[in-house]
Amino acid sequence: MSRTFNALLLAALTLGAAPAAAQRAASTAGPPGSELTVYLMTMGPGKLVWERFGHNAIWIHDPAAPPDEAYNYGLFDFQQENFLLRFIKGQMWYWMDGFPAESYVRAYRRANRSVYLQELNLPPAARLELQRFLRWNQLPENRFYHYDYYRDNCSTRVRDALDRVLGGTIRAQTDSLPAGTTYRFHTQRLTANDPLIFTGLLVALGQGVDRPISTWEEMFLPMEMREHLRSVTVPGADGRPAPLVLSERTLFESTATPPPPVPPRWLARYLFLGVILGCAAAWLGGVQRRETSGRVAFGLVAGGWELLAGLGGVVLAGLWSFTDHVMAYRNENLLQINPLALALALVLPFALRGSSRLGRVAQVLALLVAGLSVLGLVLKVLPGFDQSNVQVIALALPAHLGVAAGLRRSR
């Protein structure tokens, strides 16, 4: 099977390079760079969360310097010094390097991830400049960069390298063209296979991911970049616009189910869970006055929810105040997942043991937490409060109201 695949890969590359080879044979004294062939290599999503967004690389065929190199900007290492701390602070260092292209294809094939090639119509001088730039960029002193999930990642680096040698052509044709999507739109549809990750990102990401993005920005996703480059043109040999993408080939097609084209609509699920939590807390608040088991159950339901919401609020406040995770700033979910809920969770066990003073404190905290949640809903009618967080409100608001009602019944 492996030998068959290698033979097919070699045949595909040979056939794909045939037009360029014929042109070079017709004029052996071509300008510098005419012997190079440049491909955009796009890999489909994988199983792991950091693989769900796809990947890409620049493949350069240079007959004078085999083997072909695939330049990859998506390298990181869990064993890197202070990796976890940098991840928490939003200061991750990624790097780029070149790898033998054919072995790179085989690695993605083994992982059951699709691999596509697009031959790019770059002028000879641009091909040579790109090769020189990538070789310079892979030097140890030049290879590292400050990674940003949306604005500076493995795909935007590839996009920018190509745009650089084309004199800004790609950006000029895509920067003012609306994509009709947002960063959150793509984040949600690409994490729909993992409800916990989906929910965590739904809560953690603030207003920044909800603004409409351009097709230039949408190329933070490799698969979207592959699509958008099909509409980009460059000056042809006769001076007239010519397609940037000369040809396309599929080297491997994954058998995995592709991500959905749009995010899932889970509003009813979040609302159902929030109502169940709220109703359970409100009912158990009355039961716990009569039965010890009811007191324990109320403590577990109400205290568990408020503990989760409070810890989440501390995380959200920390992301906004102390990290470089820009897309977590201005997060309206702080009105729903609030640090005050943590104080309520800590006071609640003592209130349930019969302390009248702490019982009143718990009631006040519960009303404050529920009131802030209601405020978060009311503010949606005002300009500037347009974060896409109705699902979070649907979960948190009935749960907070139920806890407040349960504490009132318990008194």
Confidence of residue 14 (pLDDT cuts 50, 70, 90): very low
Confidence of residue 205 (pLDDT cuts 50, 70, 90): very high
Confidence of residue 71 (pLDDT cuts 50, 70, 90): very high
pLDDT of 209 above 60: yes
Confidence of residue 256 (pLDDT cuts 50, 70, 90): very high
192 to 89, 264, 337, 391: CA distances (angstroms): 25, 7, 22, 14
> What's the confidence (pLDDT) of residue 395?
98
> What's the confidence (pLDDT) of residue 290?
60
| Per-residue pLDDT tens digits for 287-339 | 766 666 778 899 999 999 999 999 999 999 999 999 999 999 999 999 999 99
Average pLDDT, integer, range 223-228:
98
41 to 135, 161, 222, 411: CA distances (angstroms): 17, 14, 9, 65
> What's the confidence (pLDDT) of residue 153?
96
Average pLDDT, integer, range 111-127:
97
> What's the confidence (pLDDT) of residue 396?
98
Between 30 and 368, whose confidence is greater?
368
129 to 60, 117, 163: CA distances (angstroms): 12, 21, 12
Residue 78: burial class (beta carbons within 10 Å; 0-12, 13-18, 19+): exposed
pTM assigned to the model: 0.89
Average pLDDT, integer, range 180-192:
97
pLDDT of 82 above 50: yes
Q: What average pLDDT does the structure give for the chain?
A: 91
pLDDT of 4 above 50: no
| Per-residue pLDDT tens digits for 346-355 | 999 988 887 7
Neighbours of 47 (CB within 10 A): 12
104 to 38, 68, 72: CA distances (angstroms): 16, 10, 10
